[in-house]
Amino acid sequence: MTIATAFAEAPGQRRHRRPDQPVAGHPEIPTFDRHDAVTRAARRGTPPMGRVLHMAATGVWAIRLGGRFVEVDGRNCWESREDLDAAAVRAGVALSDLVVDTGR
C-alpha cells in the first residue's frame, strides 16, 4: 500500500523546510544557517545596490538598478570605472563590489 500526499494548493499547506536542512542523498552540499525571513527583514529599509557592468566588447561601464540602466546627467554609460563611481556618488546610488564583465 502506497500513501500519497496531495499537492499543496495554498502556501499555508506547504511543508516548511528550513534552508539549513541537508539535502537527502547529497551530504557534500554545504548548508547555511540562515532563514529567508531574517534576511528580508534585514534588507528592508536599505536602498538597493546598483550592479556594475563592464561591457568589454565596447569598453564602457554602466550601472543597472532594478533591471534598468541608471541615467545620471543624461548619460547611462561611462568610459572608465572612476567616472562611473563619480556619477554614482552624484546620483546617490550605492554600488555593489562585484563587477559583471560581459564578453571579451
> What does pTM read for this prediction?
0.56
20 pLDDT tier (thresholds 50, 70, 90): low
Question: What pLDDT score does 84 carry?
Answer: 95
Average the pLDDT over 43-54 and give the result. Answer: 81
Contact (Cβ atoms closer than 8 angstroms) between residue 100 and residue 54: yes
Domain range summary for the chain, segments of one domain joined by +: 50-102
Mean pLDDT across the chain: 76
Q: CB–CB of 102/53 below 8 Å?
A: yes
Which strand ranges, in their side-by-side order, compose the sheet holding 60-65? 68-69, 60-65, 50-55, 95-102
C-alpha 95/C-alpha 88 separation (Å) is: 7
Let me know: does 61 contact 77? Beta carbons within 8 Å: yes
pLDDT at 1: 47
Element housing 84 (H / E) = helix 81-91
Give Cα separations from 86 to 16, 45, 77 (angstroms): 45, 24, 12
Residue-wise pLDDT tens digits, 54-91: 998 999 999 998 888 999 989 999 999 999 999 999 99
